[in-house]
DNA sequence: TTCCATGTTCCGCA
DNA sequence: TTGCGGAACATGGA
């Protein structure tokens, strides 16, 4: 689930739930999700603190608990957050639990273990160290900048969109949607795409991410004309009703309309 | 039972 | 040398 719109939804969720609550206890039920830290270090840093602000860069969520202290959350393919009344029945998927002094707790769930939890002194430094490109929704990602970032690249347009070091936040689902909305085949070579079509892709990308975020990344709630709900066998093009094709691009299942995307 | 999955990293190859 | 594509990773659900 977690691509940019999902992580942005998690960020807003954290903002209206766990923000400003004092952390009373940190428990780690599966240390494999920790990146470059330990359960002890996590507890030592967070106990008695409160998250005061949050940020997001691509698919990473940051929650600030001190001037130079941020919790880093990444959700892999299946991660999520759940803020609830403290209970004994901690679900198996909950790998890290932050208990607050108000009787509530924030569960970091990650059933498939591809996510990570860590600490950083600065989200910008963290992003630099990870080689993340500009956030796909950042105002700084103008169409001129978008052209620049893709200039001279090889490979398919879909793999470029999903490359987090070019731009951060787009994954398999929203790459497909962006290319559907802009009428470009996902397996098209990036160097064969005219600059004006790159502008189309840029426009579609921003609109798709904004609309998905507005709909809380609930793909069952997307407007008509979106291909995402039709990514399945028997799925049809929402524009021309032709059966959708599926193939593999950069190792990911890829759905597209052979009539509408060239 | 087998296959597939919205993530990233690492390695081999061009 | 740079950068792209595929395999690997851990786990649950169809």
Q: What is the pTM of this model?
A: 0.97
Nearest to A4 by CA among A140, A178, A225: A178
Q: What is the pLDDT of residues A167-201, one digit of tens each?
A: 999 999 999 999 999 999 999 999 999 999 999 99
Residues ≥6 apart with Cβ < 8 Å to A67? none
Q: What is the largest CA-CA distance in chain A?
A: 58
Q: Read off the pLDDT of residues A192-215 as tens digits, 9 standing for 90 and up.
A: 999 999 999 999 999 999 999 999
Please give the average per-residue pLDDT across A65-89, as a whole number: 95
3-state class (DSSP) for residue A64: strand
> Is the per-residue pLDDT at A1 higher than 80?
no
| pLDDT surpassing 80 at residue A255 | yes
> Could you give the count of Cα atoms lying within 13 Å of A108 in the half-sphere of its Cβ?
30
CA of A147 to C1' of C13 (A): 40
Protein-contacted bases of chain B (C-beta within 7 A): 4-9
Nucleotide nearest A32, CA–C1', reads C10
pLDDT at A42: 97
- Nearest residue to nucleotide C7, by CA–C1' distance, is A251
Active site residue A116: no
In angstroms, how far is C5 C1' from A254 CA? Answer: 15
Whether A123 is catalytic: no
Distance of alpha carbon A77 from alpha carbon A112, whole angstroms: 7
| The one catalytic residue among A5, A8, A57, A59 | A59
Chain C positions with a protein C-beta closer than 7 Å: 3-12
Region A140-153: what's the mean pLDDT?
96
């Amino acid at each position: 689930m977690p691509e940019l719109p999902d992580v942005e939804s998690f960020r807003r969720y954290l903002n209206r739930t766990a923000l400003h609550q004092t952390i009373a206890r940190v428990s780690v039920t599966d240390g494999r999700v920790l990146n470059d830290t330990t359960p002890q270090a996590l507890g030592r840093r967070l106990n008695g603190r409160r998250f005061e602000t949050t940020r997001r860069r691509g698919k990473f969520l940051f929650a600030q608990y001190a001037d130079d202290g941020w919790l880093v959350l990444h959700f892999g393919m299946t991660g999520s957050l759940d803020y609830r009344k403290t209970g004994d029945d901690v679900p198996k998927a909950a790998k890290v639990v932050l208990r607050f002094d108000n009787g509530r707790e924030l569960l970091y769930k990650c059933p498939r273990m591809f996510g990570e939890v860590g600490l950083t002194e600065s989200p910008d430094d963290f992003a630099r160290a990870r080689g993340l490109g500009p956030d796909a929704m950042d105002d700084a990602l103008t169409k001129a900048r978008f052209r620049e970032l893709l200039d001279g690249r090889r490979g398919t347009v879909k793999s470029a969109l999903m490359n987090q070091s070019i731009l951060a936040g787009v994954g398999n689902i929203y790459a497909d949607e962006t290319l559907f909305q802009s009428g470009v085949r996902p397996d098209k070579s990036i160097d064969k795409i005219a600059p004006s079509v790159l502008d189309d892709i840029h426009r579609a990308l921003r609109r798709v991410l904004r609309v998905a975020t507005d709909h809380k990344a609930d793909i069952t709630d997307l407007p008509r004309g979106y291909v995402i709900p039709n990514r399945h066998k028997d799925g049809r093009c929402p524009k021309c009703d032709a059966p959708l094709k599926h193939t593999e691009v950069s190792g990911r299942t890829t759905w597209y309309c052979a009539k509408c995307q060239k």
